[in-house]
């Protein structure tokens, strides 16, 4: 018997009592876990309600009936039927080739991530459009009209994101992605053909609906079709493609800057990736999770076999078993509790509430730091500063964002999420303060405000650009990606509503920033606006320092233990050190065994 088969024999023999989660008793257990009072403990949950039991999660021996962070429960035939009262984790079952990406997976990841390209393209395309649109909409755009056109997409995305999750559970992931593409194409064509402000706003709003649908579902779709061990890395590919879309948008904007009616080509070309994805999506599979919930086991198994082509037939069956159980567990929780009960649990149960505060706080900081003002309005700012091809200068900003997003993928997990934010936020603060100072001296001859057509000193214009590039580098390395790891902050029974509220916080703050930036620049001067963002970043750093624990490298159970009696900053470091030491000892033990 091979080592892998021996491991599976050990796990298969770990048979507990039949599942009680997938039964009528689950309703009572789920409702008890959602009650603020619970059974007398401070943080009742589906996972474990006793403090001592939770602490023992991190002290199990190999002889216990467990595998990783959850207990595996099987029926008399060895089939996985539950997580023994804890959240089922696919990572608890290992299959051969789990850390490899096949051509099949790469194709579906890149095809799905085209939605991220759409998101990024639209975010940056409007920057080039605003510089050259002139009076093509019948009037020279006022400040509030410009802000309304810019922020309409954000409002649409907020609404689209709110309905995306529930809609995809009902129709499947693929159909929502198809719908997002159709909506995006319609919105892009509406913008390209419009001749007044109202039509432009409507087109931008429709595009936003597509962005909201796709930005919510595509990471979920990629995650459900990725090998377990590298799922996080592949999901973050969507974030990388978003920044790539911004680079492409600025490049196209620069190319069409001097073309008559060139802005129509810029917005119209946004439909091209949607058309490509619409053609490709028919060849992509549905999520195995959705297929299993629809009792299409054979279809789901065929997809899992493609994801893990090196796995044996029995290993594929094991993976399908635990995926089915995880899907059923999630469905059972949702079916056995109401939306209002889950909301009450999220707000009133301490462990859940602290996760919500962290999730919403990080998403708010990400937007209130002012980064997206650069994506939306950088070409407008650089044009006022006197750069000849402002959109081409904006391309430099987008390229820095793209490159440092790649850097972030390599650095964040080894360094830690908390440490990364505590290091990169000061870089952003210093950069914004420098930009505020440079704007102050730059605009002394124009009363502190930027005036189009003024001849500002090139030296100060370049210094403003350099400070913004440093700011973008700091943002992309930390704050650009870390808040989207929000799923790890919530227990299964409140994860859906928790991530929805956190994401809505992001879009709401994005809307606030995009709808007020130009007015803020006029009322408070550019120096005052960037000084305000520096102040908000400082508050964000204090928030992270005081409240945000180190979650990198911790399992879901360990994160919940950290939040049990507070925000657990010190506790999280202690757990991480303990895990790293155990891993070090295990590696040394394996090396010693190999030598022997």
Q: Which of 5-9, 138-142, 277-281, 469-473 is the least confident region? A: 5-9
The pair of three-digit structure tokens given for residue 520, joined into one six-digit string:
């803020």
Q: Which of 314-318, 383-387, 569-573, 590-594 is the least confident region? A: 590-594
pLDDT at position 574 over 80:
yes
**What's the CATH code of the domain at 433?**
1.20.1250.20
Q: Could you tell me if 81 and 223 lie in one domain?
A: no
Average pLDDT rounded to a whole number, residues 262-267:
95
- Per-residue DSSP letter, 19: P
Between residues 59 and 149, which one has the greater pLDDT? 149
Instruction: Give the range with max mean pLDDT: 28-32, 234-238, 418-422.
Output: 418-422
The pair of three-digit structure tokens given for residue 168, joined into one six-digit string:
């995809």
In a domain, 568, yes or no: no
Q: Which of 330-339, 459-468, 508-517, 583-592 is the least confident region? A: 583-592
CA–CA distance, 222 with 232 (Å, rounded to integer): 10
Provide the number of structural domains found in the chain: 3
Q: Could you tell me if 91 and 115 lie in one domain?
A: no
pLDDT at position 46 over 80:
no
pLDDT single digits (tens) 76-86: 444 444 444 55
pLDDT at position 199 over 90:
yes
In a domain, 555, yes or no: no
Q: Which of 74-78, 117-121, 378-382 is the least confident region? A: 74-78
In a domain, 341, yes or no: yes
**DSSP state letters, 359-404:** HHHHHHHHHHT-HHHHHHHHHHHHHHTT-SSHHHHHHHHHHHHHHH
pLDDT at position 64 over 50:
no
**DSSP state letters, 56-75:** HTTS--TTSS-BTTB--EE-
> Who contacts 593 (Cβ-Cβ below 8 Å, separation ≥6)?
none
Q: Could you tell me if 230 and 124 lie in one domain?
A: yes
Q: Which of 127-136, 268-277, 316-325, 484-493 is the least confident region? A: 484-493
In a domain, 205, yes or no: yes
Residue 223, CA distances (Å) to 135, 233, 237, 290, 507 in order = 45, 9, 11, 13, 22
The domain in which residue 424 lies consists of: 337-549
pLDDT single digits (tens) 321-356: 888 887 787 778 777 888 888 889 889 988 889 999
In a domain, 449, yes or no: yes
In a domain, 541, yes or no: yes
pLDDT for the residue 466: 96
If pLDDT is split at 50, 70 and 90, which confidence band does 187 have?
A: very high
Average pLDDT rounded to a whole number, residues 183-202:
95
If pLDDT is split at 50, 70 and 90, which confidence band does 87 have?
A: low
Phi, psi (degrees; rounded to nearest 5) at 70: -130, 160
- For residues 308 and 96, the answer to whether their CB atoms sit within 8 Å is yes
If pLDDT is split at 50, 70 and 90, which confidence band does 409 have?
A: confident
pLDDT for the residue 99: 73
Q: Could you tell me if 270 and 125 lie in one domain?
A: yes
pLDDT for the residue 16: 36
> Who contacts 213 (Cβ-Cβ below 8 Å, separation ≥6)?
160, 161, 163, 164, 167, 176, 177, 179, 180, 183
The pair of three-digit structure tokens given for residue 122, joined into one six-digit string:
């639209």
Share the mean pLDDT of the chain. Answer: 81
Q: Could you tell me if 167 and 281 lie in one domain?
A: yes
Q: Which of 549, 567, 584 is the last residue of a domain?
A: 549
Q: Could you tell me if 48 and 120 lie in one domain?
A: no
- Residue 346 has, within 13 A of its CA and on its CB side, a CA count of 25
pLDDT for the residue 339: 81
Between residues 303 and 6, which one has the greater pLDDT? 303
Instruction: Give the range with max mean pLDDT: 91-105, 155-169, 465-479, 490-504.
Output: 465-479
pLDDT at position 9 over 50:
no
pLDDT for the residue 590: 66
Q: Which of 74, 102, 130 is the last residue of a domain?
A: 102
Q: Could you tell me if 383 and 299 lie in one domain?
A: no
Q: Could you tell me if 379 and 458 lie in one domain?
A: yes
pLDDT for the residue 496: 76
pLDDT at position 29 over 80:
no
pLDDT single digits (tens) 30-41: 444 444 444 433
Phi, psi (degrees; rounded to nearest 5) at 46: -70, -25
CA–CA distance, 379 with 373 (Å, rounded to integer): 10
pLDDT for the residue 312: 85
In a domain, 320, yes or no: no
The pair of three-digit structure tokens given for residue 311, joined into one six-digit string:
């796995």
Q: Could you tell me if 525 and 464 lie in one domain?
A: yes
Between residues 94 and 551, which one has the greater pLDDT? 551
Gyration radius from the chain CA atoms:
25
pLDDT for the residue 470: 97
Between residues 459 and 17, which one has the greater pLDDT? 459
pLDDT for the residue 596: 55
The pair of three-digit structure tokens given for residue 371, joined into one six-digit string:
């980064």
pLDDT for the residue 90: 61
Average pLDDT rounded to a whole number, residues 276-283:
90
Between residues 236 and 570, which one has the greater pLDDT? 570
Q: Could you tell me if 237 and 121 lie in one domain?
A: yes
Q: Which of 549, 569, 589 is the last residue of a domain?
A: 549
Q: Which of 62-66, 124-128, 181-185, 325-329 is the least confident region? A: 62-66
Q: Which of 169-173, 205-209, 268-272, 295-299 is the least confident region? A: 169-173
Average pLDDT rounded to a whole number, residues 369-397:
90
> Who contacts 272 (Cβ-Cβ below 8 Å, separation ≥6)?
none
In a domain, 203, yes or no: yes
If pLDDT is split at 50, 70 and 90, which confidence band does 48 have?
A: very low
> Who contacts 37 (Cβ-Cβ below 8 Å, separation ≥6)?
44
If pLDDT is split at 50, 70 and 90, which confidence band does 13 have?
A: very low
pLDDT for the residue 209: 94
Average pLDDT rounded to a whole number, residues 566-579:
84
Q: Could you tell me if 447 and 407 lie in one domain?
A: yes
Q: Could you tell me if 273 and 401 lie in one domain?
A: no
Could you give the percent of the chain with pLDDT greater than 70? 82
pLDDT single digits (tens) 546-556: 999 998 877 77
């Amino acid at each position: 018997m091979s080592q892998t088969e021996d491991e599976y024999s050990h796990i298969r023999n770990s048979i507990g009592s039949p599942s009680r989660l997938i039964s009528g008793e689950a309703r009572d257990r789920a409702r008890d876990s959602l009650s603020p009072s619970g059974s007398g403990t401070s943080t009742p949950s589906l996972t474990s309600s006793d403090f001592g039991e939770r602490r023992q999660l991190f002290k199990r021996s190999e002889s216990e009936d467990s595998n990783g962070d959850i207990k595996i429960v099987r029926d008399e035939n060895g089939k996985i039927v539950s997580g023994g009262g804890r959240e089922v984790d696919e990572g608890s079952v290992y299959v051969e080739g789990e850390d490899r990406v096949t051509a099949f997976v790469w194709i579906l990841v890149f095809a799905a991530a085209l939605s991220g390209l759409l998101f990024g393209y639209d975010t940056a395309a409007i920057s080039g459009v605003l510089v050259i649109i002139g009076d093509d909409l019948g009037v020279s755009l006022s400040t509030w009209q410009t802000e309304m056109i810019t922020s309409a997409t954000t409002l649409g995305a907020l609404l689209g994101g709110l309905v995306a999750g529930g809609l995809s559970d009902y129709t499947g992931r693929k159909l929502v992605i198809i719908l997002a593409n159709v909506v995006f194409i319609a919105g892009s064509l509406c913008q390209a053909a419009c001749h007044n402000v109202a039509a432009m706003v409507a087109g931008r709003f429709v595009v936003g609906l597509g962005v909201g649908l796709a930005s919510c579902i595509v990471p979920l779709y990629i995650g459900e079709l990725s090998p377990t061990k590298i799922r996080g890395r592949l999901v973050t590919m969507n974030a990388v493609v978003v920044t790539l879309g911004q680079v492409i948008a600025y490049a196209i904007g620069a190319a069409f800057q001097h073309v008559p009616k060139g802005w129509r080509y810029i917005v119209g070309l946004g439909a091209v990736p949607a058309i490509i994805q619409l053609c490709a999506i028919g060849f992509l599979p549905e999520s195995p999770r959705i297929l299993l919930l629809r009792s299409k086991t054979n279809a789901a198994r065929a997809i899992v076999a493609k994801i893990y082509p090196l796995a044996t037939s029995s290993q594929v069956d094991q993976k399908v078993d635990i995926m089915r159980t995880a899907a059923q567990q999630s469905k059972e929780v949702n079916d056995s509790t109401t939306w209002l009960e889950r909301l009450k649990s999220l707000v009133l149960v301490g462990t859940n509430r602290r996760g919500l505060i962290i999730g919403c706080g990080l998403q708010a900081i990400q937007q209130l730091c002012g980064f997206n003002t650069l994506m939306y309005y950088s070409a407008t700012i650089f044009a006022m500063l006197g750069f000849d091809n402002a959109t081409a200068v904006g391309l430099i900003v987008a390229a820095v964002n793209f490159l440092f997003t790649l850097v972030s993928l390599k650095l964040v997990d080894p360094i830690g999420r908390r440490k990364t934010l505590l290091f990169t936020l000061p870089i952003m603060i210093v950069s914004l303060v420098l930009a505020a100072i440079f704007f102050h001296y730059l605009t002394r001859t124009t009363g502190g405000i930027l005036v189009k057509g003024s001849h500002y000193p090139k030296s100060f214009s370049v210094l403003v650009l350099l400070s913004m590039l440093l700011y973008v580098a700091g943002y992309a390395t930390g704050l650009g990606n870390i808040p989207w790891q929000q799923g790890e902050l919530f227990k299964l029974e409140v994860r859906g509503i928790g991530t929805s509220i956190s994401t809505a916080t992001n879009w709401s703050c994005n809307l606030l920033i995009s709808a007020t930036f130009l007015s803020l620049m006029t009322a408070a001067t550019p120096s005052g606006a960037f000084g305000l963002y520096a102040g908000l970043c400082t508050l964000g750093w204090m928030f992270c320092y005081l409240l945000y624990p180190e979650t990198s490298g911790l399992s879901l159970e360990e994160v919940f233990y950290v939040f049990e009696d507070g925000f657990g900053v010190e506790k999280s470091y202690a757990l991480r050190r303990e895990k790293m030491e155990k891993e070090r000892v295990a590696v040394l033990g394996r090396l010693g065994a190999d030598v022997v």
